[in-house]
Amino acid sequence: MKDKTIIITTLNQAWTEPHSNSLFDIFLESFRIGEGTRKLLNHLVVVSLDPKAHAQCKYKHPHCFAINTSSFDLPSSEENALTPHYIELMWIRIHLLTSILEMGYNFVFSLFGSRAVNFGSTAEADYFPQMFTNRRVTKSVLAYQGADVVWLRNPFPHFYPDADFQILSDRFIGSSRNLKNSANAGFKYVKSNKRTIELYKFWYESKKNHPGLNDQDVLNKIKFDPYIKNIGITIRFLDTAYFSGFCEKVYGVASQAEITSTILEWTPQMQLGYLYLASFPTVSSAGPSNFYDDFEITWGHGAKIHDNGKVLTLNLDKSGGSGFQSKKEYLFGKIDMRIKLVPGYSAGTVTAYYLSSKGANWDEIDFEFLGNVTGEPYTLHTNVFSQGNGDRERQFHLWFDPTTDFHTYSILWNPKRVIFYADDVPIREFKNLEYIGIPFPKNQPMRIYSSLWNADSWATQGGRIKIDWKYAPFTASYSNFTADACIWAFGASSCDTNSPYSNSNSKTKVWLRHELDIAKKRKMRWVEKNHMVYDYCKDHKRFPHGPPLECSVDNN
């Protein structure tokens, strides 16, 4: 950050297991889906405590730092979390944070693994989303002693501007300045200055006077020491209107009993920790989106959000293209985006707008707009991937000029079909044909992506016409995004009536059962007859032994 602030956490092997859906995955995912938190991922530094954790960190996050802890037996369960070696590891962390302050960096320390919690089976992994029982209160973030803080809203606006050292409280007693508040070292914001450096050095040295105690217990003892007052440091405890314990009284929040009972169901399997009030995803609104809220610019210097979040533009020039993606993942929905494509000479450019999951066997639903020379039509390229298999291209020349104004491009995706629309006219339908062995994208949640990039090796007339940079920068514009969709978070869908955190009745989601009526099918046949310029099912050179199996079934 501009003021040299970093977010720092620590990681060991236990918190990276299993390979997917680990505590580390949940921690990172909370940044991606939170309100205003994705950009904070760029400032997150993960300190790995063992080689296996470091390898997993490097695979999943760009900013990883390894420290040598080979002489310590790191805990793999709650039972040995407070062994002498592990307590010493906590003190190594204090020494590390002191060094960070001495280098001039402010930091937010965000612990997500004070107790190692292994999801050792599918049932245990699935238990995590089942902890949410919210049906009325949507402002919640889960954190427990195995994952103390989950980031779903930017906390920086709620930090005290005058504090040198501000920290979470186990038992908040109403005043942020009262040292009788019980400090919890799992989350704190510390500014780099002489006072905080002296505090950390004194804190570290005080372990000698309190053998066997961890860093948090020692802090709760030394905070009353006259030396703390003498160094002139301002200590404040975070207001429970925004950060709170589940079982403590919450000042500034109405009806803590209702929040506790509707957000979380107590179980002995999970040790509950701290709640940071933020918006937990439910079914997304069908109203127009604000790009600041629902999307993050992920690459390229030319992407910008304008008009208070109402418009987003992507640029392409000689230095490169640009792109963005949704903060949330979806599993089925009706997705609409109004797009105005690159005007004039756009040959060699591709404007991609699509849904996609992750992994080697990914699912994907594509709109790609292939540019052309001035006066010649864009080619709208569509494709559907299921379990990593695509090659289902259909291409169209639109019946309108997509560069002079915004037009709506929609994807309706439910368990039975995928339908592509342009200005509410269906142009293609891909049906679920699993009964004849054709994979269908129905099990993997997907994000929305869009990008503008140089594809002049193939995009225009098979790559014969290249980009002409004298027309750069090339600009595509986006507005009026809406998603009437099921949000996927922590292993469950907000449209699943069996999901404990769902506040949605899926019966109200008409698109979940939608199919084209006779009038819409006629419109689609008109598009196919008059505007479809390529159909993979009719490409005999490409498939000399006959078209793919789905082509033999009415898939329109």
Active-site positions read: 364, 368
SS3 188: strand
499 CB burial (10 A radius; 0-12, 13-18, 19+): buried
- Which amino acid is it at 271? Q
Alpha-carbon gap, residue 316 to 330, rounded angstroms: 28
Tokens of 468: 């002409």
Phi, psi of 13 (to 5 degrees): -60, -40
- Which DSSP string do the residues of 482-539 spell out, in sequence order? EEEEEEEETTEETT-TTSTT----GGG-GGGG----HHHHHHHHHHHHHHEEEEGGG-
CB 553 within 8 A of CB 436: yes
Number of H helices, E strands in the chain: 10, 25
Judge contact between 153 and 276, C-beta under 8 A.
Answer: yes
Q: What is the CA radius of gyration of the chain?
A: 27
Q: Contact, 325 vs 298, CB < 8 A?
A: yes
The whole-angstrom separation of Cα 299 and Cα 297 is: 6
Please check whether residue 356 is in contact with residue 450, taking contact to mean a CB–CB distance below 8 angstroms.
no
Q: Give strand pairing partners of 139.
A: 279
Asked whether the beta carbons of 215 and 86 are under 8 A apart, the reply is no
Q: What do you get for the CA distance between the two ends of the chain, in Å? A: 51
On whether the CB atoms of residues 273 and 145 are closer than 8 A, the answer is yes
CA separation, residue 190 to residues 92, 110, 119, 162, 248 (Å)? 17, 11, 32, 11, 24
DSSP per-residue codes, 204-242: HHGGGGSTT--HHHHHHHHTTSHHHHHTT--EEEPPTTT
Strands 274-276, 243-245: parallel, antiparallel or unpaired by DSSP?
Answer: antiparallel
The string of DSSP codes covering 301-363 is TT-EEEGGGTEEEEEEBTTB-EEEEESSEEEEEEEEEEEEPPPS--TTEEEEEEEE--STT--
Cα separation, 448 vs 32, in Å, equals 13
Distances (CA, A) of 192 to 45, 156, 184, 456: 17, 16, 20, 49
Report CA-CA distances (Å) from 483 to 148, 288, 392, 429, 452.
Answer: 31, 8, 25, 19, 22
Q: What tokens does 237 get? A: 């405890």
Among 207, 261, 234, smallest CA distance to 84 is for: 207
